[in-house]
């Protein structure tokens, strides 16, 4: 299939850049062996941004190239050098582009107005280097935070032309001719059907109202079932304040006359739906042709009886165009008065909802045999952790404790050794699972000292290991005695 030159619906895959990792480094200088941590921060990943550009009228670029990736941030380096940020990529889109999340179906934005923009795929944050992680209690961190991955999002872009008045009618009724006659637009006009393949837009001045008019490709009976060019193009008149039926009074096609044509187009509009409340005008066109003028006069009474305002016009001679233009301007002005223009939204950033207050920073729920911790912070912290580095894991534990995850788990009845899952998809896949090893006092039972994490201990020195083993045997033996007064001996691994 040939590549089309106009596309008004496209699926776009976007990838934010990854954040650069922080760097763990120690300053080195002659005669200063302990120069302190000097690892720089990673740069943030670039974002993919959609921005309205009035010069762009089609989504065809994204049809040709539907994967767009922003660059990643650079990692930090020693000597306090921060990594550079990844570059954002800004994708120009036409005014009136509606953006929907392809996975959830959520409407993300309706981009109207110049420079309206949407950050579709946010780049990841860079990780802090060990210089930034140093504090009075942690003077020389031997770890840095990882950069976060950029967001990935697949979106459906849909162009809905932003026009005040929409022209509808049979092919060759003179819709494009009407736009050409009342505005400076110069759409293609020809005497064969389906000359117009993409909507044309024109700016019209009627009295003191300036408004835009769009036509859509011609409709025929059965367009809703896909005949002709179909009726999908009607989405381009969905935003219009008013519709104008352009009716051809000079056609010799059998079975066609203004009243029937109008009824056919109306039933296509009904099949499309959502346009019922839009006021309509009827333009009986081509009255410069003598027979057409007669036919228009006969049809007028009938159509007016149906409640329409009717205008006999000729785009050739200009007859009736002034009255029609003023009537359009009136409808536009009424609509504008009824709905004050919404505040222009400039930057939209669909980000996960922030849970700001400290009591709502995380939630814990029992899921199967796991305790599932959810919350922006805990999930982000897990992503930033280099699990190959025990010190980094300890830092994570400290951060989680600081917001009270451990206390909450204990309150809920979690026991040492229970699985605790953080992050991952809503169904739990991809989460990081820990064994719960509380470090705070639980009654008289102290599992390990604060600042010490039994899970992370390196193989111990033989003497220490032997002492602990003896301790354990003793306690197990005592427990056995207390339970049933007997001595059960000691199981050995
Ligand atoms: N005599 C006469 N011819 C007209 C008038 N308006 C349009 N035409 C002719 O009708 C034909 C179709 O006009 P278009 O403006 O291309 O019609 P359209 O409704 O845009 O048609 P599609 O784009 O195919 O749907 C052209 O040959 C025009 O010159 C008019 O007022 N009088
Ligand atoms: Mg046309």
Q: Report which of residues 8 and 148 the model is more confident about.
A: 148
Atom 12 of ligand 1, residue of closest alpha carbon:
172
| Angle in degrees, 0-180, between the axes of helices 376-383 and 390-402, rounded to the nearest 10 | 170
Q: What is the pLDDT of residue 355?
A: 37
Give the separation between CA 468 and CA 445, rounded to whole angstroms: 16
Per-chain mean pLDDT for the chain: 83
Which of 169-173, 216-220, 353-357 has the least mean pLDDT?
A: 353-357
Dihedral of the alpha carbons of 11, 13, 14, 15, in degrees to the nearest 10: 170
Alpha carbon of 191 to ligand 1 centroid (Å): 6
* Exposure string over 67-92, b if 16+ CB within 10 A, otherwise e: ebbbbbbbbbbbebbbbebbebbebe
Q: What is the pLDDT of residue 125?
A: 93
Closest-CA residue to 206 (of 327, 313, 335):
327
Q: Would the pLDDT of 386 be above 80?
A: yes
98 class by beta-carbon count within 10 Å (0-12 exposed, 13-18 middle, 19+ buried)? buried
Alpha carbon of 193 to ligand 1 centroid (Å): 9
Task: Report the pLDDT averaged over residues 110-120.
Answer: 87
Atom 1 of ligand 1, residue of closest alpha carbon:
286
Query: Relative to the CA of 197, which ligand 1 atom is closest?
Result: 23
Q: Which residues, at least 6 apart from 429, have a Cβ–Cβ distance to it below 8 Å?
A: none
Q: Report which of residues 374 and 455 the model is more confident about.
A: 374
3-state secondary structure of 223: helix
Q: Would the pLDDT of 6 be above 80?
A: no
Q: What is the pLDDT of residue 199?
A: 83
DSSP string, 23-48: ---B--BTTBS---B-PPPPPPPP-E
Alpha carbon of 64 to ligand 2 centroid (Å): 26
Bridge pairing between strands 309-312 and 280-285: parallel
Annotation: binding site for GTP:
169-176, 194-198, 215-218, 285-288, 314-316
Q: Would the pLDDT of 31 be above 60?
A: yes
Name residues contacting ligand 1 (CB within 6 A): 169, 171-177, 189-191, 193-196, 217-218, 285-286, 288-289, 314-316
Q: Would the pLDDT of 487 be above 80?
A: no
| pLDDT tens digits, one per residue of 399-429 | 888 888 888 888 888 888 888 888 877 777 7
User: Which of the four pLDDT bands, split at 50, 70 and 90, describes residue 203?
Assistant: confident
Q: Which residues, at least 6 apart from 354, have a Cβ–Cβ distance to it below 8 Å?
A: 376
Q: Tell me which of 315, 318, 319, 320 to substitute to probe ligand 1's pocket, judged by most ligand atoms within 8 Å of the beta carbon.
A: 315
Atom 6 of ligand 1, residue of closest alpha carbon:
174
Q: Would the pLDDT of 352 be above 50?
A: no
Share of the chain above pLDDT 90, in %: 37
Annotation: binding site:
169-176, 194-198, 215-218, 285-288, 314-316
Ion ligand 2: residues, Cβ under 5 Å: 176, 195-196
Query: Relative to the CA of 246, which ligand 1 atom is closest?
Result: 19
Alpha carbon of 55 to ligand 1 centroid (Å): 27
Closest-CA residue to 77 (of 140, 32, 26):
26
Query: Relative to the CA of 169, which ligand 1 atom is closest?
Result: 19
Going from the N-terminus, what domains does the chain have, and what CATH number goes with each?
1-160 (2.70.210.12), 165-338 (3.40.50.300), 358-458 (3.30.300.350)
Q: Would the pLDDT of 222 be above 90?
A: no
Q: Would the pLDDT of 132 be above 60?
A: yes
Atom 11 of ligand 1, residue of closest alpha carbon:
191
Give the separation between CA 371 and CA 408, rounded to whole angstroms: 11
Which ligand has the minimum distance to the alpha carbon of residue 178?
1
Query: Relative to the CA of 289, which ligand 1 atom is closest?
Result: 1
CA 414 from centroid of its chain's CA atoms:
37
């Amino acid at each position: 299939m040939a590549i089309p030159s106009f596309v008004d619906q496209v699926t776009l895959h976007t990838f934010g850049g990854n954040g650069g990792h922080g760097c763990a480094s120690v300053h080195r200088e002659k005669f200063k062996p302990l120069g302190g941590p000097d690892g720089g921060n990673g740069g943030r990943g670039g974002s993919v941004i959609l921005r309205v550009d009035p010069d762009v009228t089609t989504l065809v670029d994204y049809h040709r190239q539907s994967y767009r990736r922003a660059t990643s941030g650079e990692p930090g380096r020693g000597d306090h050098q921060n990594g550079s940020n990844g570059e954002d990529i800004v994708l120009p889109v036409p005014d009136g582009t509606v953006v929907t999340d392809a996975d959830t179906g959520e409407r993300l934005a309706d981009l109207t107005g110049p420079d309206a923009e949407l950050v579709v795929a946010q780049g990841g944050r860079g990780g802090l280097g060990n210089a930034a992680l140093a504090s009075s209690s942690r003077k020389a961190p031997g770890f840095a935070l990882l950069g976060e991955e950029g967001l990935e999002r697949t979106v459906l872009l849909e162009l809905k032309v932003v026009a005040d008045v929409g022209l509808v009618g049979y092919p060759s009724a003179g819709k494009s001719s009407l736009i050409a006659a009342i505005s400076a637009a110069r759409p293609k006009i020809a005497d064969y059907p389906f000359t117009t393949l993409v909507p044309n837009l024109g700016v019209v001045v009627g009295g003191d109202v300036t408004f835009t008019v769009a036509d859509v490709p011609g409709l025929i009976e059965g367009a809703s079932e896909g005949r002709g060019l179909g009726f999908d193009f009607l989405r381009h008149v969905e935003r219009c304040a008013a519709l104008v039926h352009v009716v051809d009074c000079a056609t010799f096609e059998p079975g066609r006359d203004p009243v029937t044509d109008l009824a056919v187009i109306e039933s296509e509009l009904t099949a499309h739906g959502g346009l019922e409340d839009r006021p309509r005008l009827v333009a009986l066109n081509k009255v410069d042709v003598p027979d057409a003028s007669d036919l228009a006069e006969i049809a007028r009474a009938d159509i007016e009886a149906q409640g329409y305002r009717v205008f006999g016009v000729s785009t050739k001679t200009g007859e009736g165009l002034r009255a029609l233009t003023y009537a359009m301007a009136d409808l536009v002005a009424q609509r504008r008065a009824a709905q004050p223009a919404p505040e222009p939204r400039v930057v939209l950033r669909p980000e996960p909802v922030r849970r700001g207050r400290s009591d709502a920073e995380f939630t814990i729920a029992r899921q199967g045999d796991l305790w599932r911790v959810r919350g922006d912070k805990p999930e982000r912290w897990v992503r930033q952790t280099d699990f190959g580095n025990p010190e980094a894991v300890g830092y994570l534990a400290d951060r989680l404790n600081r917001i009270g995850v451990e206390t909450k788990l204990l309150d809920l009845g979690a026991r040492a050794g229970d699985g605790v899952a953080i992050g991952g998809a809503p169904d739990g896949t991809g989460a990081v699972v820990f064994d719960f090893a509380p470090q705070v006092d639980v009654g008289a039972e102290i599992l390990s000292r604060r600042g010490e994490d039994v899970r992370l201990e390196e193989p111990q020195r033989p003497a220490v290991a032997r002492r602990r083993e003896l301790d354990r045997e003793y306690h197990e033996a005592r427990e056995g005695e207390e339970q049933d007064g007997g001595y059960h001996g000691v199981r050995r691994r």
